[in-house]
Amino acid sequence: ISDARPAGDRLDRIGAGRRLVAAEEPRETGSSLRLRRHLADLLYGGRALATAQRLRSAIAALPSPEAFAGRLEDLAAR
């Protein structure tokens, strides 16, 4: 069974988030520093924040579920 997280993978791929894989060795050198770097980028205006804001705007521009359901009802009535 794969532990892949499709949504996390997609966010990582477009640059709106990070999907960090657990280290093979629990005490990997520099892993806490690496984690801090990723968190700072996500929380304090790095590249990921700008991409996430664009994604949020694109999602907000989509029709609401209610509007979409209305269209489906119209199609079903035909």
Neighbours of 63 (CB within 10 A): 10
How many of the other CB atoms lie within 10 Å of CB of 17? 20
Instruction: Give tens-digit pLDDT for 25-62.
Output: 555 556 788 888 888 888 887 788 888 889 999 999 99
pLDDT at 70 over 70: yes
Region at 25 (left for phi over 0; alpha for psi -120 to 50; beta for the rest)? beta
pLDDT exceeds 50 at position 8: yes
Q: Where are the domains of the chain?
A: 6-77
